Chains A and B, each alone.
Chain A
Amino acid sequence: MQPYDLPDEFGHFGQFGGTFVAETLIEALDELREMYTKYKDDPEFLAEFHSDLKHFVGRPSPIYFAERLTKQSGGAKIFLKREDLNHTGAHKVNNTVGQALLAKKMGKPRVIAETGAGQHGVATATIAARLGLECVVYMGSEDVKRQSPNVYRMKLLGATVVPVESGSKTLKDALNEALRDWVTNVSNTFYIIGTVAGPHPYPMMVRDFNSVVGKECLEQMPEIANKQPDAVVACVGGGSNAMGIFYPYIEHKDVKLIGVEAAGEGIETGKHAAPLTSNSKIGVLHGNRTYLMQNAEGQIIETHSVSAGLDYPGVGPEHSWLKDSGRASYVAIKDDEALEAFHNLCKVEGIIPALETSHALAYAQKLASQMSSEEVILVNLSGRGDKDINTVANISGISL
């Protein structure tokens, strides 16, 4: 069997990925690629990275057997990889610590980030504070409204939050604006992208930093479940928590990998954020070629999801590749199903999950009920839901 070694040197995962940016960014990406190549196997850099993950982030995160959830679903055992217990409350921080260390090595005093749910923004602001870096976070003005606790958190941490008013005023527009900032301030600024999208080397680099999640699972699962999982389930916005847990399992061919997209109000309504499940066309956005929600003339269309972190019209190029190659499969969960799973996990397990994560949970429960009690599902519990309580209360007609 050929080992999995994607992307190639140009960042291609088959026909996906690549470097589709204006010439003004090429030099910066060349520099980043060079530095990442230099440091990614450097023992000193890795020691520093893992030391931060241990002492600052609190890794390794535990795997938890969700016994009552399992009973309730009636079937396969459900295990949760507790990324919600990380400092700052989500998997996003793994990548952020890695990129911020790289920024420091490259001598960049200023970091910028885009954010949807605000988790990546908070993680970036946090690590920037710790390393003494200036931090600017771009956030769609729609998301500023629905994730206000995280906006305040970022400000507490000393970051400047810039609401983005262009386009659909969500994650994709924040990414555009961050790219614009980067071309303008390229000499002193490091752009910390928060998911496995963007031009090469970002999809690879973000995956690598997040793959600590899957690597820990490989060790922890035999201890706690006596076996590797039969299926790994993770939600997919851009796809970083999913790639982080999938990647170390890619060569374990008998482990099913399932990504859960946001079906919003339903795939058939067109109001969703599920480029893979809805069979969107392939296109080019934010520096890479991937499946992309667009109209017949290539304009990116607005997405809908109750969770800001999944509200993205594209998906990391490696997921497009994994879908086409058949190594992973992708499904979608609607807003109301995710909300139900959210409330359910609170009550049954005493864990408030992020709305993004709730999509993965909803699907895992469905899947578990179709599997035997000998089988095991591992869910990436990508983040905690404290940031979502306003949204959920609102939907329930409660004002806080």
Chain B
Amino acid sequence: MSKIKVTFEKLKEANKSALIPFITAGDPHPKDTVQLMDTLVENGADMIELGIPFSDPMADGPVIQRASERALNNKVGIKDTIKLAKDFRKTNKETPLILMGYANPIEAIGVENFIQLIKEAQIDGVITVDYPPEESREFVKKLNEQKIDSIFLLSPTTEDERIKLIAEQASGFLYYVSLKGVTGAANIDIKQVSEKVNNIKKYSDLPVAVGFGVRDADTAKSVAEISDAVVIGSRIVKEIEASEKNHIFSNVKKLVESMKNAIDSSKAQ
């Protein structure tokens, strides 16, 4: 069974939602990435999404764009991202690790090579933002052969037929993009998200994670109530960006803790 699945089953037994923070590899500096990942786990991350820097992140808002630019200025690309993931695995074998990125870097180093490398780094899942199911059948097949989950996005405009199609190719979990827009955009409408998540669940038994607009603990709490996982990206990346160098880890710790407490309090009653 995949680590992602095991994690979701454990959380389900405990009646909890998962906290999935996102950071970009190599931001603010490659030597910080593993320590940041450890900090996320120590303070409640159930899984980690690690962003692969890309020069043209067209689905990302300004915060994650800038993180990508900083990482690229540090010369961190797809290969270093995988290396950093491997370093993280030296001391953490349990926490599911998901790579999130765009198709071009993966194709540039070669799909087979990419899959080989991430298998060695014990990566559990991949989100390729600009690979819709129609264009990624071969890729998904190859990931599945290596027991790596392929995670797909669903959007507020995804129609039922398409939810079915995507659910058939997806594994690990489904990632519901909670708003029309890019990462880090405006606040989300919980009622609408709740309806959508329930609708998705009609077509799939996979856990549903919600992300793209969760910016504070209150929102995290309400999202946790209606879904299986809360993805927090721009808010954490922003914290990293805004923090003075020697406060990055303590600030991220505080932020993740507060998110975790909010999420854990959601289904308690």
Contacts and interface: CB of A to CB of B under 8 A. Distances in A.
Interface in B193-214: none
Max chain A C-beta neighbours (<10 A), residue from B61, B106, B132, B162: B132
Interface string A264-296: 000000000000000001111111000010111
Given A20-B130, A28-B157, A186-B157, A284 B104 contact: yes
A285 B59 contact: no
Given A186-B157, A300-B55, A10 B134 contact: yes
Interface string B17-41: 0000000000000000000000000
Contacts of B152: 23
Max chain B C-beta neighbours (<10 A), residue from A23, A166, A285, A301: A23
A28 B177 CA distance: 15
Interface residues of A, number: 40
Interface of A, helix, strand, loop or mixed by DSSP: mixed
Contacts of A20: 103, 130-132, 135
30 contacts: A19-B134, A19-B135, A20-B132, A21-B132, A22-B58, A22-B155, A23-B153, A23-B155, A24-B155, A24-B181, A27-B157, A166-B62, A166-B65, A183-B180, A184-B182, A185-B180, A283-B107, A285-B104, A286-B56, A287-B130, A294-B104, A295-B77, A295-B108, A297-B105, A298-B105, A298-B106, A299-B77, A299-B105, A300-B56, A301-B55
B63 to A, nearest CB: 12
A299 B55 contact: yes
A139 to B, nearest CB: 16
Max chain B C-beta neighbours (<10 A), residue from A19, A175, A285: A285
A183 B59 contact: yes
Nearest to B133: A23
B72 A166 contact: no
Interface string B62-87: 10010001001000011100000000
Interface string A151-173: 00000000000000011000011
A172 B58 CA distance: 10
Interface of B: 53-59, 61-62, 65, 69, 72, 77-79, 102-109, 129-132, 134-135, 152-155, 157-159, 162, 166, 177, 180-182, 185
A28 B79 CA distance: 34
Max chain A C-beta neighbours (<10 A), residue from B69, B106, B157, B177: B157
A15 to B, nearest CB: 11
Nearest to B130: A20
Nearest to A282: B107
Contact of A284 (B72, B79, B103, B159): B103
B58 A26 contact: no
A130 interface: no
A300 B135 contact: no
Contacts of A28: 157
Contacts, number: 122
Interface string A34-68: 00000000000000000000000000000000000
A23 B154 CA distance: 6
A167 B56 contact: yes
Which 10 pairs from chain A and chain B are nearest by CB?
A298-B108, A298-B105, A27-B157, A297-B77, A184-B181, A22-B59, A23-B153, A24-B155, A284-B103, A298-B104
Nearest to A301: B55
Contacts of B79: 297
Contacts of A27: 155, 157-159
A110 to B, nearest CB: 14
Contacts of B102: 284
Nearest to B65: A166
A297 B155 contact: no
Contacts of B130: 20-22, 284, 287
A188 to B, nearest CB: 11
A71 interface: no
Contacts of A193: none
A112 to B, nearest CB: 14
B181 A26 contact: no
Contacts of A10: 134
Given A18-B135, A176-B57, 4 more contacts: A26-B158, A179-B58, A296-B108, A298-B105
Nearest to B81: A297
Given A26-B162, A27-B159, A176 B153 contact: no
B168 to A, nearest CB: 15
A23 B157 CA distance: 9
